[in-house]
Amino acid sequence: MKWFRKIAIGFLLAVTAVAVSGCGVAKLKDLKVTSVGVKYLVPTSSRSMDAVLLLGLDNPGITFTVDDVRGVVKFYDREMVHFTAGELPVQARSVQVYELPCTALLAEKVSLLDLLAIAAKRSLDGMTVDVKLHVKLRNGTGTTLTFNDLDLSSFSQ
């Protein structure tokens, strides 16, 4: 499952980068990712799994919430996995590790064997993600952000 961890780490970094770059609040630009990881993965069927991802954040700015995260992981423009993630409230002026629940579902005409073949390459080259998310500030104002073709290999270690 190391391949899923790489994808999960890339996803977490992409969501964080999207939240920081897309929101018009200047103080969010100082947000830093301190750690990423996977707390657990639970296959729920042959085509889906639930996970809780760990995201360490150093937020010297304001309180905000990332919610209604939806996206697609692609391999050379072929849709592979559709995902949704739960709400992630981020506290102001804090350094914390947050838990982000998410669910992944294989795209149509994609099998688990297809993912295992990609994972065997041990590389995220050719993998991109399209993400649509809602960022909400504590006062209730918010915006929906859409980012396409974020290169997951640029987030890998």
| 20 contacts 30 by C-beta, under 8 angstroms | no
* CATH no., domain 2-152: 2.60.40
Check residue 66 and give its pLDDT: 84
4-13, 74-83, 136-145 — most confident range: 74-83
Q: Which pLDDT score is estimated for 111?
A: 87
Residue type for position 156: S
Closest CA to 14 of 94, 60, 69, 68: 69
Least confident of 10-14, 46-50, 81-85, 120-124: 10-14
Give me the residue spans of the domains in the chain: 2-152
pLDDT band at 23 (very low <50, low <70, confident <90, very high): very low
Q: Identify the pLDDT of residue 21.
A: 47
**What is the per-residue pLDDT across 107-151, written as a single tens digit (0 to 9) for each?**
999 988 887 788 788 777 888 888 887 878 877 788 777 878 878
